[in-house]
Amino acid sequence: MDHKRIGRRIKAFRKLKGYTQVRLAKELNFPLAKLGSVERGTMEASSLLITQIANLLEIDEEEITLENMPTKEEN
């Protein structure tokens, strides 16, 4: 997994769903500074954190990680 790409996707989905970093960190009970590091790609997101974020934002984990997603060639 490319943690910089995952961080960018977490940030994009967070904004799309109308969450600020502060609100997301509070609802996840996760340190704000660490969430910022994850979004910048300077810290890798754990599988548990990705699951928690996906559940809170009501998206599939695969939307964040792009794992098991069909590629353009498969469509």
Rounded Cα distance between 70 and 66, Å, is 9
Residue 39, Cβ neighbours under 10 Å: how many? 21
pTM, to two decimals: 0.87
What is the model's pLDDT at position 74?
A: 52
pLDDT tens per residue, range 27-59 = 999 999 999 999 999 999 999 999 999 999 999
The domains of the chain are located at 3-61
pLDDT grade for 68, boundaries at 50, 70 and 90: confident
End-to-end distance of the chain based on CA atoms, in angstroms?
22
Residue 22, Cβ neighbours under 10 Å: how many? 10
CATH superfamily, region 3-61: lambda repressor-like DNA-binding domains (1.10.260.40)
Rounded Cα distance between 20 and 54, Å, is 15
Could you give the percent of the chain with pLDDT greater than 70?
Answer: 89
